[in-house]
Amino acid sequence: VQLQASGGGLVQAGGSLRLSCAASVRTFSKYALAWYRQAPGKERERVAAISWSGDRVYAASAQGRFAISRDNAKNTVYLQMNSLKPEDTAVYYCAADTGSVYKKEYDHWGQGTLVTVSS
């Protein structure tokens, strides 16, 4: 499984960004998908995840501001990020796994995309 994330960039606080992650796998619809992030000096955090059936899970820091979605026809998972804060600054990674959406460590990872939120 290869995952290619895109959409990061520099945005002002209060702004929005949409991250995309395209997967090269034939059975994309069977995968749980997630977005993680890692800020400098901090541990990696799972921000949002979506199961193969569409169930969504969010970190408390993302609840109400971020929305994860998937388009199985395009083999792509998205992360819509609104009301961005400087503390959202991090490298964002997409991940995929055939197991539970709640699995702690997903098996397949994409390269990161940097999100920088200026105050």
In sign, the C-alpha dihedral spanning 102, 104, 109, 110 is: positive
Residue-level pLDDT at 73: 96
Residue-level pLDDT at 90: 98
Residue-level pLDDT at 38: 98
77-108 confidence digits (pLDDT tens): 999 999 999 999 999 999 999 999 999 899 99
Q: How confident is the model at residue 65 (pLDDT cuts 50, 70, 90)?
A: very high
Residue-level pLDDT at 11: 98
Q: What type of residue is 102?
A: Y
8-54 confidence digits (pLDDT tens): 999 999 999 999 999 998 899 999 999 999 999 999 999 999 999 99
To the nearest 10°, report the CA torsion of 84, 22, 26, 52.
0
Closest CA to 70 of 80, 60, 61, 62: 80
